[in-house]
Amino acid sequence: MKISEDLTCLFSATVDEQSDSYVIEVPRAEVEEGFVDASRAHNIALLSTAAESAVDESDSTRSETDHEGDQQGPPVSVGEQRIVEIDEMGDQGDGLARVEHGFVVIVPETEVGERVRIQIGHINETVAFADVVERFKH
């Protein structure tokens, strides 16, 4: 799956039925602390949880030679700050967030579902490590 480099935010939401349409709620934090400008129109992409599981499995089974074909390298840089949602817990008890292309960022001292502003500290080819700069209510 190819994810646009223009991705400005990533969050989980449900699709709710309202009369003759369906609604996806944008979390208030995405507008107030994030990158969503409520006065502009935005493009969105929807990924089902089944698709996410398939992407997770394919990402974890890719070999290092697969990554050599990725000309762009990791989608984060040292010192960069982002707002992310912790998707799962790693084997060592650290929170894991995924950014562009399913790239994993390990964030110690976080919990699943927590939204945090992070600062990238260390990056290697397959994973980055970040520290929490700010925690948002969830």
Domains of the chain: 1-138 (2.40.50.140)
User: Buried b / exposed e across 13-22, counting CB within 10 Å, b at 16+?
Assistant: eeeeeeeeee
pLDDT for residue 12: 73
Predicted confidence at residue 77, as pLDDT, reads 93
State pLDDT tens for residues 90-113. Answer: 989 999 999 988 899 999 999 999
Q: What is the CA radius of gyration of the chain?
A: 16
Q: How does pLDDT run across 55-95, given as a tens digit for each residue?
A: 444 444 444 444 444 447 899 999 999 999 999 999 899 99
Stated pTM of the model: 0.53
- The two beta strands, 95-98 and 127-136, are unpaired
- The dihedrals phi and psi of 51, each to the nearest 5 degrees, come to -65, -40
pLDDT band at 48 (very low <50, low <70, confident <90, very high): low
At residue 100, the pLDDT reads 87
Task: Classify strands 15-18 and 21-24 as parallel, antiparallel or unpaired.
Answer: antiparallel
Please tell me the distance from the alpha carbon of residue 85 to that of residue 97, in angstroms, as a whole number.
6
Q: Backbone phi, then psi, for 16, in 5-degree steps?
A: -110, 140
Task: Say which residues have a Cβ less than 8 Å from residue 114's Cβ, sequence separation at least 6.
Answer: 85, 86, 95, 135, 138
At residue 2, the pLDDT reads 59
What's residue 68's pLDDT? 43
